[in-house]
Structure 1
Amino acid sequence: MGLMYDQKGDGRLALKYFQEGLEIQTKSKAPYLSRVALLTNVANACVDVGKLDVALNALDEAEEILTKQRFPQLYLTAYLNDTRGKLYFQQGNMDKAGEMFEKAAMGREDVASGKTKNVESLVHLMKVAVKKGDTSQCIKTGKSVLSYSDDLIKQRPQNNVLTECYNCLAKVYEAMGDHAKVRDTLTKIKTELLRLEHLYTCDCNEGQVVKIRKQLTDIECKQKAMPHTLDKVTNTKTVI
């Protein structure tokens, strides 16, 4: 139930069910290792709703369990690192966020290179690069993400990872003053959002449809606000 509400974009209900599941695990004395993913789910949901202290406690508990394992749990460790990176990102600590996202990306690459979770961590690294003004790193990582685009859509058609990648690229191109690339990237965002809108409409996921339509409206406003230049040959205004 928690995962379902998380996919629907309802962080508060997702957190409610994750916490209830964790409480049941505790009462039933489930194996400690089985608690790690659920603790990290709780932390993720807490980050999404701004309960950072609760998220930190859940992550610390999960990490303590992992450190006691005889064999490395690469996927769970990567998931934990990615979530800790999100927490640092929310706190504004970009250096620590970048460190955690890089560890997560490397761990997920070892487990399943190019798969959705691996690419999500790469996009998180792009967001850090945008915040730090590191345009070259953002573009470099973005190229890696887009090289997996066809496979990503096949793996999880409703994932918005490509939209987030394009959003990061649009921001760095704007910072660079490259209006042609900004316009091209906004068009790609719009195409991706329309694809997602169709999928969520078919699933009757009205909450996500509303969010996507708002994003589409914002993209159209940005496109209309794009600067123009004067064409020296025809003496007419040409959109860059």
Structure 2
Amino acid sequence: MRLTWFDANAWLLEAGERRILIDPWLVGDLVFNQMPWLIRGVRPQPVPIPASIDLILLSQGLEDHAHPETLKQLDRSIPVVASPKGAEVVQGMGYESVTTLSHGETYSFQDMLQIRALPGAPIGPFLKENAYVLTAEGLKIYYEPHGYPAAEKVQDLTGVNVAITPMLDISILGVGSIIRGREGARELAKWLKPQIMLPTAEGGHVTYKGMLAPTLRKAGGADELRSHLQSLGLKTEVRPPRPQEPVELSSRGVIG
């Protein structure tokens, strides 16, 4: 199995001959609610859209997970599995095959990948988006990009090899936390005891502009988490990936 990170929350999972694109933001700017003056994510250059995508997986309907400009450039015939809000976005764009996964539901893709939806990040007072457990090639991967593992569900999981989760707290001064990575990653490590943890939702080469950009605050990170796990005697490997450089995985851990 191979995982490639494209900055922010965008990942490519390659299992066997299948390629699954997760929460893709690859081209154009990241803008929320059509307000670029407020906050705008900027890539130094676009990421080439991977060829031969077999499935798109969306954890949320927000623009940093269901990025409109990227989704408009992808083939509408590619099947999509998404949270209910993510499904609304791609259905509105004319995607032909959209499967909505609510919490607790499972989807099997071509008998080689199982996707189970769990509660993820709270978006407002009444909505929780999706976390996922992906199982393929004898590996089990937990993915949630905002740092909100659902204790009542995650603590029951067994055999998770890889956890993809934010490791930073990211907040906006006067607004509050938007990413809860610091404590969320510690909780996951304690509950799941995965072999490997990979950070997501970090900037990589991305920069932010707009009125709110100077108020962004970050705390925590991979180095801090690694030290914390060592102090607890946990053997989980914290492995920050490099943008666009594949990470090879096996049941034995990171192999490249």
TM-score tier, shorter chain, comes to 0.3 to 0.5
- What TM-score, normalized by structure 2, do the two folds share? 0.31
Q: Which has the higher helix share?
A: 1
